[in-house]
Homo-oligomer: A and B are copies of this chain.
Amino acid sequence: MLQTSAPLDLAFQALADPTRRIMVERLSRGPASVSELAQPLDMTLSAVVQHLAVLEASGLVRSRKVGRVRTCRIDPQAFHAAERWISERRASWERRLDSLGAFLDETAPRAKGRRRT
């Protein structure tokens, strides 16, 4: 019934780690080499490469090696899917709260009317 490796699973899983979010923050400001990504992180280059592999598997980041330098960049599509999922849920409960508000606006005067009689 449920796919465990669906794109959204991988995207949210990738974003659940603070190191990977730092890498994504860096890449949202522009492409970067693996060394540039590693620069602010207090860990080995090998650990950074592992985090990069998770980000690439999720589709959030793409990388390309030219000569000896691997350059990484954001791939917006997986981001949009994750953002859309959250904002659609929010829209759903906001619609419900709006309906509830409209219902209360409609019924409150009638309730007051009943109280007056």
A residues contacting B by CB (< 8 A) are 1-4, 6, 8-10, 12-13, 15-19, 21-22, 24-25, 27-30, 42, 74, 76, 79-80, 82-83, 85-87, 89-90, 92-93, 96
Question: For the complex, what is the distance from the CA of A73 to the CA of B25, rounded to whole Å?
Answer: 31
| Total copies of the chain | 2
Asked if residues B12 and A15 are in contact (CB atoms below 8 Å), the reply is: yes
23 A-B pairs, CB-CB below 8 angstroms?
A2-B18, A2-B19, A3-B18, A8-B16, A8-B18, A9-B16, A12-B15, A12-B16, A15-B86, A21-B85, A28-B89, A28-B90, A28-B93, A28-B96, A29-B92, A29-B96, A30-B93, A30-B96, A76-B93, A79-B89, A79-B90, A83-B83, A83-B86
